[in-house]
Copies of this chain bind each other. A is one copy, B any other.
Amino acid sequence: MCGASAPSPEEAALARSVGRRLAERGALVLCGGLGGVMEACAEGVREAGGTSIGLLPGWDPDEAAEAIGVALPTGLGEVRNALLARACVAMVAVGGGYGTLSEIAFARRLGRPVATLSSWQLHRDGAQIDDPDLFAAGSPAAAVDWALDHVPD
């Protein structure tokens, strides 16, 4: 799960719902461990009794949002975005800027399916790309269902 560090209230609500639904489906939820959609998602995970792991960019476990279950400081800065894409089996992105775009790109480069909510659209030669493993979802439920249904075997 990845997305905006400074989300709108709507994006935060989407992220919380994504976290709750992922946990209800039994998924272990990885995120970047800081505030914004990461924190909202971790709160949703906690509400549903699930487990979240935060891969922190810095060295200090205390940087993690309070709702994060397990905080792993990596000290890698933005490189932890690549690590998150490697460590997951499917991704849901909510909102977000260039950091989120790097996570989407890495995840797709590695073959992970990516569902987006209120996030980037990718064009080439003036037209939106056609990638069956990249899905612009209309709701948290649709994003979570699609992502979990598209986990590679």
Chain multiplicity (copies): 4
- With a cutoff of 8 Å between Cβ atoms, the chain B residues found around residue A7 in the complex are none
Residues facing B in A67-96 (CB within 8 A) are 70, 72-79, 81-83, 86-87, 89
Specify which of B59, B70, B106, B128 is in contact with A102 (CB 8 Å cutoff): B106
- For the residues of A in contact with B, the DSSP-based class is mixed
- How far, in angstroms, from A128 to B120 measured CA to CA in the complex? 10
Q: How many residues of A contact B (CB 8 A)?
A: 39
Q: Are A53 and B78 in contact (CB under 8 A)?
A: no
- With a cutoff of 8 Å between Cβ atoms, the chain B residues found around residue A124 in the complex are 119-121
12 of the cross-chain contacts (CB-CB < 8 Å) are A59-B110, A73-B86, A73-B87, A74-B83, A74-B87, A75-B78, A76-B79, A78-B106, A82-B102, A102-B106, A121-B123, A121-B124
